[in-house]
Amino acid sequence: MAATIVGCVTIYLVAGGVVGVAFLFLGIDRIDSAARGSYAFRPLLLPGLTLLWPFVAVRWIAIVRTQT
């Protein structure tokens, strides 16, 4: 049982890391115009993005759909 929980948490965090890094490089400029050109604070966002990645992904997809 513990191995299953650890495996699920690991998958969740890996997916969060992938979405977080992709968002920092590709999507943050679309969501927050004040983030353009300020690269020093972006690594500080990664832990929060990793934990909250489903919300970030939904918001990012909604923004992309409204811009096209």
Side-chain-side CA neighbours of residue 26 (13 Å): 12
Instruction: Please give the tally of structural domains in the chain.
Output: 1
pTM of the model: 0.82
Rounded Cα distance between 66 and 28, Å, is 15
Q: What is the domain range of residue 37?
A: 2-67
DSSP category for residue 36: T
Q: Encode the chain (68 residues) as per-residue pLDDT tens digits.
A: 999 999 999 999 999 999 999 999 888 888 777 878 778 888 899 999 999 999 999 998 998 888 76
The SS3 call for residue 25 is helix
Q: Which of 38, 45, 41, 39 is nearest to 17 (CA)?
A: 45
So what's the pLDDT on residue 40?
Answer: 85
